[in-house]
Amino acid sequence: MPAPSVPVLIAPLGLPGAGKSALARALARRLGLPRVCRDAIRAAMFPEGTAAAAEKRAAFAAALAAADAHLRARRGCVLDGATFARGADRRRVAALARRHGARLVWLWLDCPPALARGRVARQRAHPAPDRTPALVDAVAARFAPPPADAIRLDAGLPRNRLLAQALAAVSRAQGGSRPAAAVAACEMPAGVRGHPVAGREPPYAPRARGLRRT
């Protein structure tokens, strides 16, 4: 597709096993956008692959640099391979989109931790060496409330329906929604329509298995 005058930055977020990468690949194909995948970058940068947090941070920085290059050239892209559980990571993405005047589309794949754990346990090949069912619980425990303007998608839907809803959300964003929200608006306020979570409560706190709040 021809590059729009206002590029779009699409960022799926959610637990490991929520289906973010499958959706990101499908969106990239349908929209003709490049997919920037942190996991693929990490595998290329660190072929030996450990669970070190430093590897994730380096790969995330490289993914942001790649997205920056696309947006600088007025090309949109799909940013994949990260859960975006932490508000700090989301703020970096929002700042990137804002710097280039891009439209940031957060797609929150809301997935019950039990479903995510089952998917991760059944998955046989994934570039992230630390991807285990236990990781799902760890991410759920630290998952900040979704961004205020995130589009909630039910991760349990069939893939074709999930893709259709995501395409509709991107189309609406490109058709007149505002550019990337300010950094201060990156967390969900109380009572936001379309989100099942109210206030500042982490979205998976009531559902994650055996987790303590910290």
The answer as to whether 48 is a domain residue is yes
**Phi and psi of 159, rounded to 5°?**
-60, -35
The answer as to whether 214 is a domain residue is no
* Cα separation, 80 vs 62, whole angstroms: 12
The answer as to whether 2 is a domain residue is no
* Cα separation, 33 vs 80, whole angstroms: 12
The answer as to whether 114 is a domain residue is yes
SS (H, E, C) the chain: CCCCCCCEEEEEECCCCCCHHHHHHHHHHHHCCCEEEHHHHHHHHCCCCCCCHHHHHHHHHHHHHHHHHHHHCCCCEEEECCCCCCHHHHHHHHHHHHHCCCEEEEEEEECCHHHHHHHHHHCCCCCCCCCCHHHHHHHHHHCCCCCCCCEEEECCCCHHHHHHHHHHHHHHHHCCCCCCCCHHHCCCCCCCCCCCCCCCCCCCCCCCCCCCCC
The answer as to whether 192 is a domain residue is no
pLDDT for res 167: 96
Domains of the chain: total: 1
Query: Could you give the strand order of the β-sheet that contains 35-37, starting from the edge strand earlier in sequence?
Result: 35-37, 77-80, 8-13, 103-110, 151-154
Asked whether the beta carbons of 56 and 42 are under 8 A apart, the reply is yes
String of b and e for 46-83 (b: at least 16 CB within 10 Å)?
A: beeeeeeeebbebbbebbbebbbebbeeebbbbbbbbb
> Counting every residue, how long is the chain?
214
The answer as to whether 148 is a domain residue is yes
Residue 129 one-letter amino acid: P
Residue-range definition of the domain harbouring residue 135: 8-185
The answer as to whether 198 is a domain residue is no
Low-confidence ranges of the chain (pLDDT < 70): 1-4, 49, 51, 126-129, 176-202, 205-214
The answer as to whether 144 is a domain residue is yes
pLDDT for res 47: 85
Comparing CA positions, the residue from 137, 36, 131 lying closest to residue 79 is 36
pLDDT in tens, 96-139: 999 999 999 999 999 999 999 999 999 877 666 677 899 999 99
* Cα separation, 138 vs 28, whole angstroms: 29
CATH number of 129's domain:
3.40.50.300
